[in-house]
Amino acid sequence: MTIYQNLIAGEWVGAEASENISPSNTGDVVGLYATGNAEDTKAAIAAAKAAFPAWARSGILERHAILKKTADEILARKEELGKLLAREEGKILPEAIGEVTRAAQIFDFFAGEALRLTGEIVPSARPGITVDITREPIGVVGIITPWNFPIAIPAWKIAPALCYGNTVVFKPAELVPGCAWAIVDILHRAGLPKGVLNLVMGRGSVVGQAMLDSKDLSGITFTGSTGTGKRVALASIEHNRKFQLEMGGKNPMIVLDDADLSVAVEAAANSGFFSTGQRCTASSRLIVTEGIHDKFVAALTEKLKTLNVDDALKAGTHIGPVVDERQLKQDTDYIEIGQKEGAKLAFGGELVKRDTPGFYLQPTLFTEANNDMRISREEIFGPVVSVIRAKDYDEALVIANDTPFGLSAGIATTSLKYASHFKRNSEAGMVMVNLPTAGVDFHVPFGGRKASSFGPREQGKYAAEFFTVVKTAYTLP
């Protein structure tokens, strides 16, 4: 089998490799992907550093053309890349194709942004002097990404990094090197100069750690677990570098008595269980008021019975496998913990066998949970959701905000009064009314509060906050 290699200083390199295994079928080897080491990482950082001055001064037409070409190729290959994504990560094919489309839209958006770079000229407080305020790239940016969005998250970090004139060292998650390699291959062929974008696949504790320890990265943008995020933060402070973190969630969805039942059930089923619950914006706490509680639980349970758990590539599958054995153990451990804590297992909880050996878990619903239980406080990151009863909206709001996290939050209601109040008083970075807490647009800010995120927002125009640094220049003509 050929090895998909790392890209360092414009050359494909690397002889050490590991197998990329499909979670739908552990006998299916997606490919052999290079596993870089600390030396490779240092070489990639050095290449990005050497490439920075020229790329920082490159023309906007060049950046536009490369990003646009990348967007067009990703879109043209969405079926093929979607299949690769579904195979390596376990997201069902329609969701995977949707994610690939999203990646193309992101590159397209930042291709446009490259043509819209602006600054400000303002009068000085001292007459006769002018002040101009401009944005400059920050330097070499380290990009560390998780496995749950193998192409969209790399896209929403790489596209703005390059658009604003930074050079990049990109380290994807170990479980999903396929989409990472594909996106880098496309950008490389689209005409990026040597060293502007470097790919180092490999272990977090080796490649990731070598990035954290480097003095030559001006910024690190990270999406992943809270524990690793903290390491990124501490190392970045040590090295005086910018950092941006997207970490966990324990996202609430409130369902009020006046909700449209079918809207609430669709939103809860989607955001709790689609993508196997493996989205940081997934709803994992359904906070339901007394008057609708029993009807809602009954309708959601009926809905869960209709969802097929199976091979991600099979037509008719609604929920693909859990991503790997370690994540499956985490999910089943929490299912046990929930039962021990006294929550009622209302649906699912069992592993299921399919035609191929994969990590298949039923969608799992707990009822009679309370907000102090570990299943309500800690991120599970699987298709496991708890229902918490609330007396009324006021109590539901207190419960929704009573969490260490603050990424996304939802409410299902037909009341303008409660919807408006919730939008203002939710302590989450993103609020959804009558919509799943997961599923966001590509051109508007993404990010959370509290333990969920740190630093400026990602996506849309707001991405410039992290990927540029502001300069204020005074001139006496």
- Of 63 and 171, which CB lies nearer to ligand ADP in the complex structure? 171
Q: Which residues contact 364 (CB under 8 A, 6 or more apart)?
A: 331, 335, 345, 347, 348, 349, 382, 383, 384, 385
In whole angstroms, the minimum distance from the beta carbon of 286 to ligand ADP comes to 23
Cα atoms in the 13 Å half-sphere on the side-chain side of 410: 33
- Of 144 and 287, which CB lies nearer to ligand ADP in the complex structure? 144
- Of 237 and 298, which CB lies nearer to ligand ADP in the complex structure? 237
- Which one is catalytic: 73, 246, 378, 465? 246
CA distance 268 to 259: 12
Assess 174 for contact with ligand ADP (CB under 6 A): yes
In whole angstroms, the minimum distance from the beta carbon of 148 to ligand ADP comes to 7
Residue 389 forms beta bridges with which residues? 288
Assess 208 for contact with ligand ADP (CB under 6 A): yes
Among 145, 198, 214, 376, binds ligand ADP (CB under 6 A): 145
CA distance 319 to 312: 7
Element of type H or E holding 239 = none
In whole angstroms, the minimum distance from the beta carbon of 171 to ligand ADP comes to 6
Task: Specify whether the CB–CB gap between 273 and 261 falls below 8 A.
Answer: no
In whole angstroms, the minimum distance from the beta carbon of 225 to ligand ADP comes to 3
- Of 325 and 394, which CB lies nearer to ligand ADP in the complex structure? 325
Sketch the per residue contact string, 268 through 297, with ligand ADP: x for CB under 6 A, - otherwise. ------------------------------
Backbone angles phi, psi at 319, to 5 degrees: -130, 120
Q: Which stretch binds ligand ADP (CB under 6 A): 68-76, 125-133, 223-231, 418-426?
A: 223-231
Query: Widest CA span of the chain, in angstroms?
Result: 78
CA distances from 284 to 147, 270, 289, 403 (A): 19, 11, 16, 12
Instruction: Tell me which residue of 163, 207, 270 sits closest to 39, measured CA to CA.
Output: 207
Task: Specify whether the CB–CB gap between 242 and 73 falls below 8 A.
Answer: no
Task: Specify whether the CB–CB gap between 70 and 89 falls below 8 A.
Answer: no
Interface with ligand ADP: number of residues (CB under 6 A): 15
Q: Which stretch binds ligand ADP (CB under 6 A): 38-46, 110-118, 121-129, 140-148?
A: 140-148
In whole angstroms, the minimum distance from the beta carbon of 234 to ligand ADP comes to 11
Cβ neighbourhood burial of 277 (10 Å; 0-12, 13-18, 19+) = buried
Task: Specify whether the CB–CB gap between 445 and 462 falls below 8 A.
Answer: yes
- Of 209 and 339, which CB lies nearer to ligand ADP in the complex structure? 209
In whole angstroms, the minimum distance from the beta carbon of 157 to ligand ADP comes to 12
In whole angstroms, the minimum distance from the beta carbon of 38 to ligand ADP comes to 11
- Of 326 and 471, which CB lies nearer to ligand ADP in the complex structure? 326
Assess 362 for contact with ligand ADP (CB under 6 A): no
Backbone angles phi, psi at 158, to 5 degrees: -70, -45
- Of 42 and 78, which CB lies nearer to ligand ADP in the complex structure? 42
CA distance 437 to 422: 14
Assess 146 for contact with ligand ADP (CB under 6 A): yes
39 is catalytic: no
Sketch the per residue contact string, 224 through 243, with ligand ADP: x for CB under 6 A, - otherwise. xx--x--x------------
The residues binding ligand ADP (CB under 6 A) are 144-146, 171, 173-174, 204-205, 208-209, 212, 224-225, 228, 231
Q: Which residues are catalytic?
A: 246
